[in-house]
Amino acid sequence: MKYDTIIFDLDGTLLNTLDDLMDSLNVALTNRGYEPRTYEEVRSFVGNGVRKLVERALPIHSTEEEIEQCLADFTQHYKLNMQNKTRPYDGIMILLMDLNRFGYKLGIVSNKFDSAVKKLSKEYFGDLIKVAIGESPTVKKKPAPDSIFTAIKELDSDINKTIFVGDSDTDVQTAKNAGIPCVGVTWGFRTREVLRNEGADYIIDTPKELLTII
C-alpha cells in the first residue's frame, strides 16, 4: 500500500458549505449596514479561515473593530445554521466507506474554527473519519503544516505514507509545507487552473478517482 493515511480538507472537498457560509456572512454584513455579497464573491473569499472571509467581504479600509463586530455576528449565526444547506459532495460518502473498508486512516484538517469542524465531521461522517482538526490557538492555520502534523500524530500514522486532499491553492501549499503529496479536487471552490498552477501532484474530477491514485 503506497499510502495508508489520507487527510482531507473540509469545505469544498468533503462538504459543500458555501450556501451556509454565504447566508451567515450576509446576515453579519447586513446587520452592520453593508451590502450582501454574491455566491461567486463568497466562493472567492473562502479558504483561509472565517476571519479572512469576513475581512475580504468588508470594505477595504474597515477598522479592526468593524472586522471583530462582523466576525462575532457571523460566528454566532453560523454556529446555529451551519447545517441548513451543507451537504457532502456526490460520491464522498461512498468513497469514505470504501476507504474504511480497505483499512485507510482518515482525518480532516480545516481553517474553519475547531468546534465547527468537529461538529460537522461527527454529524456527517460519524466514525468514518477519526480525527478532525480546525483553527484554534494551539494549531497554526493552513498553509502552515501544523494541522497536518497534528492529525498524523493523532492517527498514529507515518508522514511518508500520508497524502492530502484539498480543493484550493492554500491546500496545495499546505501539503508542500508538510512535505507530502497533494491531490487537488475540481468540484470545490477553486478551478483546475488554480490547482495546476499551484503545483498539485494530482488533480481529480470525481471522488472515486482518488482510489486510482492511492
How many helices and strands (H and E) does the chain possess? 10, 8
Q: Which helix (H) or strand (E) holds 122?
A: helix 114-125
Contact 35, 100 (CB under 8 A): no
Q: What positions carry a catalytic annotation? A: 9
pLDDT given at position 48: 87
pLDDT given at position 47: 85
108-140 residue pLDDT tens = 999 999 999 999 999 999 999 999 999 999 989
Contact 157, 104 (CB under 8 A): no
pLDDT given at position 205: 98
Ordered domains of the chain (ranges, CATH): 5-16+87-213 (3.40.50.1000), 18-81 (1.10.150.240)
Q: What is the pTM of this model?
A: 0.94
Phi, psi of 144 (to 5 degrees): -60, 145
Output the tens digit of pLDDT for each of the chain's 214 residues. 789 999 999 999 999 999 999 999 999 999 999 999 999 999 999 988 899 999 999 999 999 999 999 999 999 999 999 999 999 999 999 999 999 999 999 999 999 999 999 999 999 999 999 999 999 999 899 999 999 999 999 999 999 999 999 999 999 999 999 999 999 999 999 999 999 999 999 999 999 999 999 9
The span from the CA of 120 to the CA of 107, in Å, is: 13
Q: Amino acid identity of 21?
A: L
pLDDT given at position 204: 98
